[in-house]
């Protein structure tokens, strides 16, 4: 083990001499309290280290030991329901050992090594196995946790265990006496291998109408939610965590305020998972790295989270990784870069900001898993961005925008009007529409693409008309354009607006989303047709179906909405007959 000594301390950045032979990203133990750190620069025999704990009181001359290993996380049964800090230390165990404030130098295992699991073997003695092959399974709450052959390992099985085992017990032994336990460790900055990437042809269904119907995201895709203070970024991510069509959720609170993380940690155990009927926390891994925790651990937290997500992806599961927020992660990069005296880029961020963001988001994807069989898994990454003052031209937002496939832009004006989700239909976009339209046409309705395109056209037309209205007033508009304003108001209030806290409307199935949209556009078509035959707009707006459309999202199911669509046509024909 290489040893050196501290020669300089600058906040979370420590310079240590005498560490010739160290490698980039080696984990080191700093000082008498053995604070955990990571080598981020080398200059001859001087290693520059970012320390994941508070360095207050650390002095020059204290010993630094290089472990020779990169930062790793433990992967195995027991990850679900866990609450970690940025470097996979379970916060409940830290609280037991040090109370409300985390003491320095504490090291606890990432998963419980004493807990026993019922291992059911799938492979048999004499089988030839390779990386990614399933050796057996254990039940982790509702999930069948698959124990896989680690990457880079292959051979013939000489023995396979069965029964109650801990994660350290050997579940299989290969020829050459190579033991394979349940637990494995993986370096967080290295993506886990897979057979091949698959096309993003399946949507991640969220139950939120503006996401699913207008700006969908594919399984294995990437999205960002930028917005100013109070626009609902955290609520949007929590809603996605609850309702998204994913087997496992990894929620990273990266540099968020302590009260927000407290709300998340207290609410998730009480929320019911609609997929299983069990507490939502049973399919969730939480990484809580609040703004008052050491800044360097914030930088590591997103790598810790995505490595865990890749582990469940390799088992053949769909994983949603929600990072709230990547702006705080970027601020951690900026602070460490400043301590390193690097040449600053735009707004003080380091020049490699774009490369680091790309390296993180590009670990998302839907993949064919290693090993025998047709397993496919996905990691979908949704990152919240907190631009100062809601300025979307700042570096984190712009560099992320170049990478992600879906852009859900939160609008401060919509939030002030209490329109939630406050996603701007003018600024937002999705690059997955072409990839997903075949699935929507086959699984929802053949005319889904046409309805979506008409909706976007009307909403954009409304934005143009509002400029005219501000100049000359609504009375100056012709009847046809007044009808556009009326139907777009219905689209905004009766379709796009959706309460995350509603017991009925918190989740909207795709079939109902399609029928709601079809009902509103059917009303618009009926209005245009009847006005073309001489019926006044005020008569069309007096139809009883208009009030029924306003009640659809809370009170109507799919069959009743179909009846409403038919009723709109009948009432429109009756108006024409009266004339």
What average pLDDT does the segment 550-561 reach?
91
Of 189, 140, 413, 424, nearest to 299 by C-alpha is 189
Local structure of residue 342 (DSSP, 8 states):
P
CA distances from 148 to 10, 79, 221 (A): 43, 15, 25
At residue 291, the pLDDT reads 79
pLDDT-derived band at 470, boundaries 50, 70, 90: confident
Q: Which residues are CB-contacts of 87 (< 8 A; sequence separation ≥ 6)?
A: 36, 52, 71, 297, 300, 301, 304
Residue with tokens 């294995």: 220
CB 47 within 8 A of CB 14: no
**What token pair was written down for 554?**
């809370």
Residue 434: pLDDT over 70:
yes
Within a 13 Å sphere around the CA of 82, how many CA atoms are in the beta-carbon half? Answer: 26
At residue 567, the pLDDT reads 92
pLDDT tens for each residue of 142-162: 899 999 999 999 999 999 999
What average pLDDT does the segment 546-554 reach?
91
The better pLDDT of the pair 181, 278 is held by 181
Sheet holding 178-181, edge to edge: 128-129, 155-160, 170-174, 178-181
Report how far residue 563's alpha carbon sits from residue 575's, in angstroms, rounded to the nearest whole number.
19
CB 156 within 8 A of CB 175: yes
pLDDT tens for each residue of 184-236: 999 999 999 999 999 999 999 999 999 999 999 999 999 999 998 889 888 89
- Mean pLDDT, the chain, as a whole number? 91
Of 223, 248, 276, nearest to 410 by C-alpha is 223
Neighbours of 501 (CB within 10 A): 9
* Burial of residue 155, with CB atoms counted within 10 A of its CB: 0-12 exposed, 13-18 middle, 19 or more buried: middle
Q: Are strands 46-51 and 13-17 parallel, antiparallel or unpaired?
A: antiparallel
CB 22 within 8 A of CB 64: no
At residue 556, the pLDDT reads 87
pLDDT tens for each residue of 49-91: 999 988 989 999 999 999 999 999 999 999 999 999 989 999 8
pLDDT tens for each residue of 26-56: 999 999 999 999 999 999 999 999 999 889 8
**What token pair was written down for 36?**
């955990």
pLDDT-derived band at 460, boundaries 50, 70, 90: very high
Domains assigned to the chain: 2-70 (2.40.30.20), 75-107+195-431 (3.40.50.300), 117-182 (2.40.50.100), 444-578 (1.10.1140.10)
At residue 579, the pLDDT reads 63
Report how far residue 395's alpha carbon sits from residue 401's, in angstroms, rounded to the nearest whole number.
10
pTM of the model: 0.94
At residue 280, the pLDDT reads 86
Q: For the chain, what percent of residues have pLDDT higher than 90?
A: 70
Report how far residue 487's alpha carbon sits from residue 527's, in angstroms, rounded to the nearest whole number.
9
Report how far residue 288's alpha carbon sits from residue 189's, in angstroms, rounded to the nearest whole number.
19
Residue 377: pLDDT over 80:
yes
Q: Hey, is 109 helix, strand or coil? A: coil
Q: Hey, is 137 helix, strand or coil? A: strand
The DSSP string of 346-399 is: GGG-BTTHHHHHHHHHTT-EEEEPSSSS--EEEEEEEEEE--GGG-TTSHHHHH
Within a 13 Å sphere around the CA of 381, how many CA atoms are in the beta-carbon half? Answer: 28
């Amino acid at each position: 083990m290489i040893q050196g000594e501290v020669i300089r301390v600058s906040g979370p950045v420590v310079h240590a001499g005498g560490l010739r032979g160290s490698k980039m990203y080696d984990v080191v133990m700093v000082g008498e309290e053995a604070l955990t750190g990571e080598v981020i620069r080398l200059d001859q025999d001087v290693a520059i280290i970012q320390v994941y704990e508070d360095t207050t009181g650390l002095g020059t001359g204290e010993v630094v030991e290089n472990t020779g290993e990169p930062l790793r996380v433990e992967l195995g049964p027991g990850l679900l329901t866990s609450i970690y800090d940025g470097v996979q230390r379970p916060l409940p165990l830290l609280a037991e050992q040090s109370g409300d404030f985390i003491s320095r130098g504490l090291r606890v295992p990432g998963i419980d090594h004493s807990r026993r699991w019922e291992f059911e073997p799938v492979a048999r003695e004499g089988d030839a196995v390779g990386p990614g092959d399933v050796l057996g399974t254990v039940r982790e709450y509702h999930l069948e946790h698959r124990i896989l052959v680690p990457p880079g390992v292959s051979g013939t099985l000489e023995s396979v265990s069965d029964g109650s085992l801990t994660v350290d017990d050997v579940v299989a032994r290969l020829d050459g006496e190579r033991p394979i336990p349940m637990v494995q460790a993986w370096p967080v900055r290295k993506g886990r291998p897979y057979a091949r990437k698959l096309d993003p042809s399946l949507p991640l269904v969220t139950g939120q109408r503006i996401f699913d119907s207008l700006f969908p995201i594919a399984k294995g895709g990437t999205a960002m939610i930028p917005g100013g203070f109070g626009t609902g970024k955290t609520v949007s991510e929590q809603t996605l965590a609850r309702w998204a069509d994913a087997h496992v959720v990894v929620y990273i609170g990266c540099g968020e305020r302590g009260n927000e993380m407290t709300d998340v940690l207290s609410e998730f155990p009480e929320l019911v998972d609609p997929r299983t009927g069990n507490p939502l926390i049973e399919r969730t891994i939480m990484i809580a790295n609040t703004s008052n925790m050491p800044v360097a651990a914030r930088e590591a937290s997103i790598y810790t989270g995505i490595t865990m997500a890749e582990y469940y992806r390799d088992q053949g599961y769909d994983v949603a990784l929600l990072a709230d927020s990547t702006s705080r992660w970027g601020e951690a990069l900026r602070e460490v870069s400043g301590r390193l005296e690097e040449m600053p880029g735009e707004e003080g961020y380091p020049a490699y900001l774009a490369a680091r963001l790309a390296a993180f988001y590009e670990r998302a994807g839907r993949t064919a898993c290693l090993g025998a069989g047709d397993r496919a898994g996905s990691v979908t990454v949704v990152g919240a961005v907190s631009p100062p003052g809601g300025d979307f031209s700042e570096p984190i937002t712009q560099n992320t925008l170049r990478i992600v496939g879906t852009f859900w832009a939160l609008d401060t004006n919509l939030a002030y009007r209490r329109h939630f989700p406050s996603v701007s239909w003018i600024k937002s976009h999705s690059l997955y529409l072409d990839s997903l339209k075949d699935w929507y046409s086959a699984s929802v309705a053949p005319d889904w693409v046409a309805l979506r395109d008409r909706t976007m056209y009307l909403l954009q037309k409304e934005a143009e008309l509002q400029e005219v209205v501000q100049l000359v007033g609504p009375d100056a508009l012709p009847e046809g354009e007044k009808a556009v304003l009326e139907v777009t108001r219905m689209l905004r209030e009766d379709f796009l607006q959706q309460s995350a806290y509603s017991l009925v409307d918190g989740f909207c199935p795709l079939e109902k989303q399609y029928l709601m949209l079809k009902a509103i556009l059917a009303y618009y078509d009926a209005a245009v047709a009847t006005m073309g035959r001489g019926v006044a707009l005020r008569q069309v707006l007096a139809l009883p179906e208009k009030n029924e459309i306003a009640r659809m999202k809370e009170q109507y199911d799919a069959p009743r909405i179909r009846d409403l669509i038919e009723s709109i046509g009948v009432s429109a024909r009756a108006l024409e007959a009266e004339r």
